[in-house]
Amino acid sequence: MPLVALRDEALGYGAGAVLRQITLSVAPGERVVLLGRSGAGKSTLLGALHDRIVGGGHRVALVPQDHALVPQLSVRHNVLMGRLDDRSAAYNLTSLLRVRSRDRAEIDAILDRVGLGEEAPRAVEGLSGGQKQRTALARALYRGGAALIADEPVSAVDEGQAGRLLDEMSAAFGTAILALHDVGQARAFATRLIGLRGGRIAFDAAPGEIGAGELERLYAA
């Protein structure tokens, strides 16, 4: 029973579909990485998969490409936002004034794992790009769920750190669908690589079955 299945679908905004004839299903336990040049439709496909999996009644953690953090709130509050839907509005509003110590302990443990333990009380607007990205990731880790959907979640951090963060992600989520631009990272992380080119799926296979030539064609002009 797949987590999500698309059958010959056109995806995109309004009439001008970005992706055509997309057939693809993701089973629980898979770690899928989408590859392709910018504008190839990775974000569109991730958005569609997110909506479909959520629509199927599963819990999904999301890391959007623009992070979608609230700059005026603290790092801790932004992470807390990963579970707003689990709690009553009254609980959430009082948390704005003061995060309960139980939640605080849990959030701060996650922030330690992504190397942001020191920044917990700081407003997000004062953070560097990499710190913001890790805050968005921490929010997804705090949320948890059946699947993680993340759009370029390690694009702004250095390589060593990126590897550790990807390990955190695969440890925390049974299923993960990511867009990455670093092929090395993708090969290390994925159980399955999907290449997008010209609005279609160019390849869809395990990393070991995809040669350098195929990857080169994917990024060729």
Which residues lie near another protein (CB under 8 A)? 47, 50-51, 54, 60-62, 64, 68, 70-73, 77, 81, 84-85, 87, 89-90, 92-93, 96, 143
Burial class from Cβ neighbours inside 10 Å (0-12, 13-18, 19+) for residue 85 reads exposed
Phi and psi, residue 122, nearest 5° = -80, 150
Minimal distance in Å, beta carbon 159 to another protein?
Answer: 27
Indicate the residue among 36 and 64 with the shorter CB distance to another protein: 64
Indicate the residue among 53 and 215 with the shorter CB distance to another protein: 53
Minimal distance in Å, beta carbon 50 to another protein?
Answer: 6
Indicate the residue among 89 and 171 with the shorter CB distance to another protein: 89
| Nearest alpha carbon to residue 177 among 153, 158, 149, 152 | 149
Could you give the CA distance from residue 155 to residue 130 in angstroms, rounded to a whole number? 8
Minimal distance in Å, beta carbon 96 to another protein?
Answer: 5
Indicate the residue among 89 and 220 with the shorter CB distance to another protein: 89
| Nearest alpha carbon to residue 134 among 155, 148, 103 | 155
